[in-house]
Chains A and B, each alone.
Chain A
Amino acid sequence: MRYFDDKPELVAAILAKYPPQGRRSSLMPLLREVQTALHYVPAEQIEEIAEIVGVTATEVRAVMSFYSTYSTVPQGKYHLQVCATLSCALAGSDELWDDLCETLGISPGEVTPDGLFSVQKVECLGSCGTAPLVQVGELGYHERLSRQDLHALLDALRRGEYPGPHSPLPVFVHSGQQEDAAGARHGAELKPLGENL
């Protein structure tokens, strides 16, 4: 089953982002398209992408396998990624991970029997101020995730209702001023060029 045959505008749009000698740059966006739509990259699509880009299948695999995001085995509809790096670990991400795997009864590389969930331990997701968190596939982050929140999320996903990302901003700025820990706001007004000295 070919993926891109009926999507010529999509392919053209991707290729157009790069100059002619940079055709190979479209490898990553093409892989991501397939990964997001099919939840993995089947061998047939590897061949297809190789054809589109003009490289060997070996090269597509070599590039694909370098990254944590692309998978050669099917993932669940909701691929749950838990950040395990230090700031999240300090917020209990290892306990989150154990709870998640136990609750779903799966290990990395597996999919729950209903095809809904797969799990992956990942490295720093850039959410250190709102740790710990889970990333749901291509949908979004779920930050400051307590045990309660995790289970509520799983329940919602089981019902097929993705609740939308939860990404509170760990930034304390209001109207151009920054609020300190005591609640006081600081921040001068910026004046035009030359008047700020």
Chain B
Amino acid sequence: MTATAPRPITSGLDPRFALSLYAHVGEQGSWTLESYRARGGYQAARRALSMDPDRIIDEVKASGLRGRGGAGFATGLKWSFMPLKDGRQHYLLCNADESEPGSFKDRYLMSEDPHQLIEGMLIAGYAMRATVGYIYIRGEYILAAERLEGAISEARAAGILGSKVLGSDFDFQLQVHRGAGAYICGEETALMNSLEGLRANPRLKPPFPAAAGLYGLPTTINNVETLCAVTHILRYGASWHAQMGSGKSLGSKLYQISGPVHRPGVYELPMGTTFAELIEDWAGGPTEPIKAIIPGGSSCPMLPYQQDILDLPMDYEAVAAKGSMLGTGGVILIPQNYCIVNATWNLVRFYAHESCGKCTPCREGIAGWMVHVYEKLVRGQGRPEDVDLILDMSDNIAGKSFCALADACLGPVQSSIALFREEYDHLASTGQPLYPRQSRWLGGGAR
């Protein structure tokens, strides 16, 4: 008689749910090697180094881990694209460029518990025969970079990085490369160009990074959270990971929530936790009425703040079924009385500022035009036709740009018009927003 599979864990309130990624964030000295070792750090690495590298890839596949940087691509599958016996230098890159508005989870992984990232990269490097790793961290994360460098120094001194790590035959060098303020560097091929010291335009695919990546050599790029999850998968097992979440969205996830809510922040919860649980049970509920929810970072189309959405599990499939994406899990709540056109303009400005300028629809359509039409609307100089113009411009941009940045901008643009057309029309025809501007700055301060 076969045992029935245990019920999946899809709520942070489930008593079986255990924290792993953020378990020690906030503890004094949590970023030191001493603290990390005291809680069993680098056990997973030792285990991995005693395994066949291909078995590690199998284990990651079995865990169901999907890339946590937004794309949600199956991690084990991605790793298996690396050539096995080509004899060339392989590279493992950690995408720590975290610049998607609404995302701030990787930051604290690096500043508060960097050794789990180092351990994850060591395991991943070993699995993919990559003896050199780079962490591309956005330049503004000063403290995180400092703590990472400190942790790497400790690891080198302790023989965890360098040649023949942890007494094995495997060499692994890790370096930190700091960015300098460009969101496009979060795109994996632009990241490689930036790391190579070129202008950070994205590259053509094919060739894919596993075939020709950094310096033209086989490369895999993974998000910070993904690599940290690898550490825990190797420590606690693929089936432990797969018991959290359900369907094709497995494991735990660092969800972020910002906007007018009582306790904005990062919450580690199992995949499949509902929006309602995150917003109410964990973040203490909104501080004012909400009309829209961005589910996973600004590139994800907005969803209406209503019960069927709140009851959705926050996983890749369920959110996609509603026409949006889970992305990085960075939830942003948009208040009822904040002009949606202004909110969208804010995001269009973001994409316009971050456009690399390589391709025409993004450079001209978004940075050259869309941002001006929005400005005109918000300043009360719009015309009724402007809303349809925005939709037609979007149609001429959608799917036609070189990389996904332009399409990312269209996420909030098209969804906000679909959901809040009356706000747009009102502003375009009267010159006045339905929801006039209010002061929102913390006055006396809630420190």
Contacts and interface: CB of A to CB of B under 8 A. Distances in A.
Q: Are A and B direct contacts in the complex by CB distance below 8 Å?
A: yes
Contacts of A90: 258-260, 332, 334-335, 338, 343, 440
B159 interface: no
Given A24-B197, A86-B102, A66 B263 contact: no
A167 B441 contact: no
Contacts of B360: none
Label chain B's interface by main secondary structure. loop
Contacts of A141: 140, 142-143
A87 B175 contact: no
A138 B180 contact: no
Interface string A98-131: 0000000000000000000000001111111111
Contacts of A144: 442, 445-447
B266 A27 contact: no
Given A146-B445, A186-B17, A69 B180 contact: yes
B447 A169 contact: no
A84 B200 CA distance: 23
Interface string B246-275: 000000000011111011111110000000
Interface residues of A, number: 84
A173 B25 contact: yes
A154 to B, nearest CB: 15
Contacts of A128: 101-104, 256, 258, 264, 330, 332
Given A28-B180, A68-B182, A186 B280 contact: no
B180 A129 contact: no
Interface string A11-38: 0000001110111111111011000000
Interface stretch (B122-130, B315-323, B347-355, B363-371): B347-355
B16 A63 contact: no
B341 to A, nearest CB: 13
Given A86-B298, A181-B281, A25 B350 contact: no
Contact of B18 (A23, A91, A123, A187): A187
A144 B319 CA distance: 31
Contact of B258 (A27, A122, A129, A174): A129
B98 interface: yes
Contact of A126 (B47, B138, B215, B263): B138
A19 B195 CA distance: 12
A67 B177 contact: no
Interface stretch (B67-75, B282-290, B383-391, B418-426): B282-290
B196 A186 contact: no
A29 to B, nearest CB: 7
| The 4 nearest A-B residue pairs measured at CB | A92-B441, A146-B445, A170-B265, A68-B181
Interface of B: 6, 12-13, 15-20, 22-27, 47, 89, 98-104, 106-108, 112, 132, 138-143, 175, 177-183, 194-200, 214-215, 235-237, 239-240, 243, 256-260, 262-268, 280-285, 298, 330, 332, 334-335, 338, 343, 346-347, 349-350, 353-354, 356, 439-447
